[in-house]
Amino acid sequence: MPQEIKPHGGILIDRLAKGSDRENLLEKASKLLEIKVNERVEADIEMIAIGGFSPLEGFMGQSDYVQVVDHKRLANGLPWTIPITLAVSTETADRIKVDDQVVLSSENGDRLAILTVAEKFQHDKVREAQLVYGTDEEAHPGVKALYDAGEVLLAGPIDVLQLPHHDDFVDYRKTPAEMRALFREKGWRRIVGFQTRNPIHRAHEYITKCALEITDGLLIHPLVGATKSDDVPASVRMKCYQLLMENYYPKDRTLLAVFPAAMRYAGPREAILHAIARKNFGCTHFIVGRDHAGVGKYYGTFDAHYIFDEFEPSEMEITPLFFDHTFYCKRSRGMASFKTSPSNDPEERIILSGTAVREMLSKGQIPPEEFTRPEVAKILIEAFKIPNYAI
């Protein structure tokens, strides 16, 4: 039997202060310069604190930042594809010196972490946009968030006083250490992780169950951090996941937990980050579907597959499972993909665009059962009835 997969870099990071250390840091925090951070940075603080971004212990310094942007690796050569940084305004940066400590607070005033400033350096936003996101267009939501951030990056380790407050999905919020303990308790050695920011339709159900055929267990791990405004809200999606878990997945071989990271819509580069994070949560395999973490027409259909070829399997360790576009095949009377369908006739495939599905749901119409479970469609239809509730 294979051994439990090691965290990225070999050690599962824990930056959450505890006991007397936390009390001392809380007292110190009241005397420090305060920097308020947005929802995305809150999510990054949480991911660093719990080890989801292992081996990071804080926000990236310049050498790591440059290597990640230019070469998709940390300065020590470890695969990493998206900068994890803290951007502040020039005015704020001018008030801070290297070796200073500052407190990072949520928008509602909760003191989340103390950053020990190891470096200050300029934020090369356009280069980061072009290389990380593949575009400098502000229409891209990840690029827009990047451009809205500050001009100077502060780097250094963080000591986390408390995780961002969440009163939703409390029972489904598991740290990497807790997920690994659950996997051990269940005796799972081969675990496949599934990243999603959408309701699970029949094609998703098909690929997750295919992956489950070759593993011991499946972790459905929906992202619940910051997403763009027209994505289906996490509260609605979770109802869909819970329904499917209750009725259509084997309870003894499937777990549902939430992934607290923010969405960056960085396509192939984010696919690598998602795989690394799931490795930290204890997964040995990771599903990479069509246009993983994509948005609009910025990335090729299978760019998120091809990027894995840039890394040796021994570097990544987690095994990617690549899936083609899937649909209901009328000829074979079941779910299939371009790889497995016996027919090339589009008329023999039930494929609906997101626009078509939204239009049907907005009219109270249930899409074909071959596309989505009717019970899931009903949850989405009810969400559409709430005024100004965009899904």
Report, as residue numbers or ranges, the catalytic residues. 197-198
Task: Measure the N-to-C terminal CA separation of the chain; round to a whole number of Å.
Answer: 44
For 71, other C-beta atoms within 10 Å of its C-beta total: 15
SS3 for the chain is: CCCCCCCCCCCCCCCECCHHHHHHHHHHHCCCEEEECCHHHHHHHHHHHHCCCCCCCEECCHHHHHHHHHHCECCCCCECCCCCCEEECHHHHCCCCCCCEEEEECCCCCEEEEEECCEEEECCHHHHHHHHHCCCCCCCHHHHHHHHCCCEEEEEEEEECCCCCCCCCHHHCCCHHHHHHHHHHHCCCCEEEEEECCCCCHHHHHHHHHHHHCCCEEEEEEECCCCCCCCCCHHHHHHHHHHHHHHCCCCCCEEECCECCCCCCCCHHHHHHHHHHHHHCCCCEEEECCCCCCCCCCCCCCHHHHHHHHCCHHHHCCEEEECCCEEEECCCCEEEECCCCCCCCHHHEECCCHHHHHHHHHCCCCCCCCCCCHHHHHHHHHHHCCCCCCC
